[in-house]
Amino acid sequence: MNRDELVKTAKAMVAKGKGISAADESSGTIKKRFDAIGVEIQRRQSPRFTARCCFRSTEAMRNHISGVILYDETIRQKAKDGTPLAKLIGAAGSLPGIKVDKGTKPLPSCPGELIHRGSRWFDRTVEGISRARRAFANGAR
Amino acid sequence: MIDIGPGIPTHTGVHTNTHALARYAAICQDCDVVPIVEPEVLMDAATISTSGYQVTQWVLKTQFFRPLSSARDARRNRAEAEHGDRRQESAKKAARGSRGKLGLKHPLRDLIALVDIVAAVHQHFGLDDRNDVAVLADRGITREGVRIWYGPRL
């Protein structure tokens, strides 16, 4: 663990006058939102990528967004020129982050209660670390 | 994600989720990724009530707050380890910086100053040293969440 880097990143995330953009909707959730405004997903990933890319290139984002929480799908996406989305966000002056849980599922023996599916995944520590390291390699901070 | 309904959440539900989030945060930090943990108690019209207040208080205490005595110990240990001779000056400066920013719009300014903010919250609101707890990170503590948490104090 590189504590200095963690401290540096955490401080940048909570910089004065800036907030965090949670763009970590799952594929299912964002499809519902696109459906609600009449946007059809014609090709896999492309509309979601375009939408997320567009608002990330604005001046407001540069000045007021300290970090962007991405979804597992989006952190691995690339622009047409091959630039990873995480790098684009970094170039805009923000920190790319990632949501690593996999939604919710019923908690066994507790009717009506939920638990994040990612938590079970994280219980299998080796796989959890592997995935977190992969996220780091993809640019997540 | 904590939902409120007849008989829920249960102790098992809250503590299982809390443990899972703690493991998640530890693994992220081991891999040099800063974790964001959300105290996600679902807020709808039905939950802005006595039960909403109680459940929110319970979940926040479980997930994000620690007793002041622990906070003081942690701050002292950390200051000794990291700041050496400057520890007193550093702790005072952190506490002073945190105290002025507390209030309804006080999103956590510095995650690293967590233990200092805990102490400042206690002082600001005159909370009981042993039983009340402090603090949080993240959008989960919205204006409404803070109002519910502190109830009639604000």
Burial label, B27 (beta-carbon count in 10 A; 0-12, 13-18, 19+): buried
Integer Cα distance of A95 and B109 in angstroms: 16
pLDDT, one tens digit per residue, over B92-150 is 555 444 433 333 233 333 333 334 444 555 555 555 443 333 333 333 333 444 444 44
- The rounded Cα A91 to chain-centroid distance in angstroms is 16
User: What interface predicted TM-score (ipTM) does this complex get?
Assistant: 0.72
B107, B141 contact by CB (below 8 A): yes
Task: Give the C-alpha distances (Å, rounded to integers) separating A9 from A2, A5, A30, B58, B130.
Answer: 11, 6, 28, 30, 32
What's the gap in Å between the CA of B44 and the closest CA on chain A? 17
CB of A137 within 8 Å of a chain B CB? The answer is no
- Rounded Cα distance, A61 and A38, in Å: 25
What is the interface size between A and B, counted as CB pairs within 8 Å? Answer: 106
Q: Hey, is B133 helix, strand or coil? A: strand
Report how far residue A133's alpha carbon sits from residue B48's, in angstroms, rounded to the nearest whole number.
40
Closest chain B residue to A104 measured between Cα atoms?
B1
User: B154: buried, middle or exposed (CB in 10 Å: 19+, 13-18, 0-12)?
Assistant: exposed
What's phi and psi for A26, nearest 5 deg?
-75, 170
pLDDT in tens, A49-93: 555 555 555 677 778 888 888 877 777 777 777 778 788 888 888
Cα–Cα dist B24/B65, whole Å: 17
pTM over 0.80: no
Tell which residue, B73, B116, B75, has the closest CA to residue B98: B116
Question: Under DSSP, is residue A141 helix (H, G, I), strand (E, B) or coil?
Answer: coil
| Residue B31 near chain A (CB below 8 Å) | yes
For A92-118, the pLDDT digits (tens) are: 888 888 876 666 788 888 888 888 765
Q: Tell which residue, A89, A88, A67, has the closest CA to residue A20.
A: A67
Interface contact B36-A7, CB threshold 8 A = no
| Mean pLDDT of all residues belonging to chain A | 73
Q: Mind listing the pLDDT tens digit for each residue in B3-25? A: 887 888 888 888 888 777 777 77
pLDDT at B135: 37
Owner of token pair 């996220």: A135
Contact: B1, A20; criterion CB under 8 Å: no
d(CA A27, CA A47): 11
pLDDT band at B154 (very low <50, low <70, confident <90, very high): very low
